[in-house]
Structure 1
Amino acid sequence: MHTLLRKHLEELIELTDAEFEYIASHFQLKRFKKHAILIQPGELVTHEYFVLKGLLKTSATDDDGKEHILQFSMENWWVSDYQAFMTGGRATSTTQCLEDVELLYLSARDRHKLCAEIHKFEHFSRLKVTSGFLHLQRRVMALLSNDAQSRYRQLLEQYPSLFQRVPKSLIAAYIGVSRETLSRLHV
């Protein structure tokens, strides 16, 4: 399982065996069953998670009880309530397992420690945060400026395997339409 983490890290940085072993020693393995809640609103968020296996969704519920899906997280993705994780605050979103999952988790304290001690890990973290910000910005712009069919096509092109793993109701919530509207889209 640490082999997957090493492969992921080395997509962006080169590590010696000693550097990787030191980094890996700060991660712990955790397994969750389908439907388990990883993060709940109001909780302190002290960890970020690297997905080895499985699929999760991160969502927020508005005052009317409508669920808004912020992100799906699958293999080789990182997930947390990053606002809470980075500030030491409380979660405003829910992260739930859509499948049985295996995760490696890293505490905020260990993340800061690794970034301070290993420049390569700090560089990796900065690149990942930047990439996440760019994806989020593209998603927000798509929600603001693209019609539902365009958002559906974009999701299908970017993540075709997601459509085999996620119910249509969740796809609809992710692109910001009702289940009925999604069924009328011609793709």
Structure 2
Amino acid sequence: MEKLRKHIQQITPISDEEFESVKPYFTIRKVLKNQFLIQQGDEALYEYLILSGIFRVFYLEESGKEHIVQFATENWWMSDYIAYFNHRHTNMNVICMEAGEVLCLTLEGRENLSAALHKMEHFFRIKLTKGYVALQQRIISLLSGNPEQRYEEFARLYPNLIQKMPKKYVAEYLGLSRETLSRLHAKHG
């Protein structure tokens, strides 16, 4: 739970007493490589804070084509947020690509925690705002950036992921062919 406290304190200070009141809202879960946290059609019971590991959030078309929405690693939050916030069944999948641990938070827990402790409401608002900004940046990059720009931006923002992720998934995330990704990787190696 110390990682959670440090994560919160990056945005807002929190006393020992306040943190003790935060801890019961979270449950810890170990996740194995290739294990799903969410599969399409599930209920979105949790939002997850990653303590360790690497995860892939993706949508799978009926044809089997996969669309990667997000990679997530330590200190990132993930879920199928459309389903989580709207009490719907999921359209997304979340799979573990490198074994790790996550903290699980229900929507009811998030709401109750925010109501009980203004600092946590502030924390969640800042995290949600940053996530929204990152999402818009990703959309703009996909719509207007050329393959080299998208690759360079990904490598700059996520240097650890570009080394750890299978090239197939990086190419898919960036909307590139594997051949184009290999050429760019060799060029910028």
What's the CA shift for 1:63? 4.0
- Deviations 1:58-110, CA, capped at 9 Å, x for gaps: 01123432211110110011111111111111111110000111011111111
Match of 1:39 in 2: 38
Match of 1:112 in 2: 111
Structure 2 unmatched runs, 5+: none
Q: Read off the aligned partner of 1:67 and give its amino acid letter.
A: E
Question: Residues of 2 paired with 1:86 and 1:29: CA distance?
Answer: 21
TM-score (norm 2): 0.95
Higher helix share: 2
Match of 2:122 in 1: 123
Within 5 Å, give how 1:70-149 maps onto structure 2. Answer: 70-149=69-148
Number of positions where the alignment pairs a residue of Structure 1 with one of Structure 2 = 186
Question: Residues of 1 paired with 2:66 and 2:114: CA distance?
Answer: 35
Q: Percent identity?
A: 40
CA RMSD in angstroms comes to 1.0
Question: Residues of 1 paired with 2:48 and 2:87: CA distance?
Answer: 16
What's the CA shift for 1:181? 2.1
Q: Read off the aligned partner of 2:32 and give its amino acid letter.
A: K
8 Å contact from structure 1 (residues 68, 176) kept in 2:
no
Q: Give the match's secondary structure for 1:22.
A: helix
Q: Give the match's secondary structure for 1:95.
A: strand
TM-score (norm 1): 0.96
Question: Residues of 2 paired with 1:63 and 1:179: CA distance?
Answer: 23
Structure 1 unmatched runs, 5+: none
Match of 2:177 in 1: 178
Match of 1:58 in 2: 57
Task: Find runs of 4+ consecutive structure 1 residues off by over 4 angstroms.
Answer: none
Question: Residues of 2 paired with 1:100 and 1:159: CA distance?
Answer: 19
Q: Give the match's secondary structure for 1:101.
A: strand
Question: Residues of 2 paired with 1:148 and 1:51: CA distance?
Answer: 29
- Deviations 1:123-154, CA, capped at 9 Å, x for gaps: 10011001000000000000000011110000
Q: Read off the aligned partner of 1:96 and give its amino acid letter.
A: I
